[in-house]
Amino acid sequence: MNRRQQREWVFKLIYQDSINDIKDNNDLYQNHDLSEDETYIIKSINSYKDHYDEIVAKLEDNLSTKFSNMSRIAKSIIYLSINEIYYLDIPVSVSINEAVDLAKKYSTNDEYKIINKILGDIVRKDKK
């Protein structure tokens, strides 16, 4: 599985976590038949779970009232990207581009524009 496919899996797992709080990551990997070769998925989900409160705070600190009713899909994509940029050292441009591509594939018509704006605002504010 290439990095893009693994990233898509991470997004899906984060989305699943937003619906049903994932307690045990190992059960999660086994339930989805993910092997230990999928190191990016495992590393990313572990990081997401370890930094969940900080990731949510970073989004909420930068979310204007007009975007507060964002879908779970959009929030999951943003959580993925914040985790990559701040905790996995993925380059900002790569992570935001991948987030926009995921949004175009999985979210509503123009939600990718909102995701791009929010992520851009977050990294500019932190001078990333």
Can you tell me the distance from the alpha carbon of 52 to that of 48, in angstroms, rounded to the nearest whole number? 5
CA dihedral 95, 96, 100, 105 (to 10 degrees): 10
∠ CA 52-127-66, nearest 5°, is: 60
Q: Is the pTM of this model over 0.85?
A: yes
Can you tell me the distance from the alpha carbon of 17 to that of 57, in angstroms, rounded to the nearest whole number? 17
User: What was the pLDDT predicted at 27?
Assistant: 62
Please report the domains of the chain, with CATH numbers, ordered by start residue. 3-125 (1.10.940.10)
Enumerate residues 6+ apart whose C-beta is below 8 A from 78.
Answer: 59, 99, 115, 118, 119
Strand (E) or helix (H) holding 20: none
CB 16 within 8 A of CB 39: no
**Residue 84: other Cβ atoms inside 10 A:** 24
User: What was the pLDDT predicted at 108?
Assistant: 82
- Local confidence pLDDT in tens for the 128 residues of the chain: 788 999 999 999 999 888 887 776 666 666 666 666 678 888 999 999 999 999 999 998 888 766 678 889 999 999 999 999 999 989 999 999 999 999 999 998 889 999 999 999 999 988 87
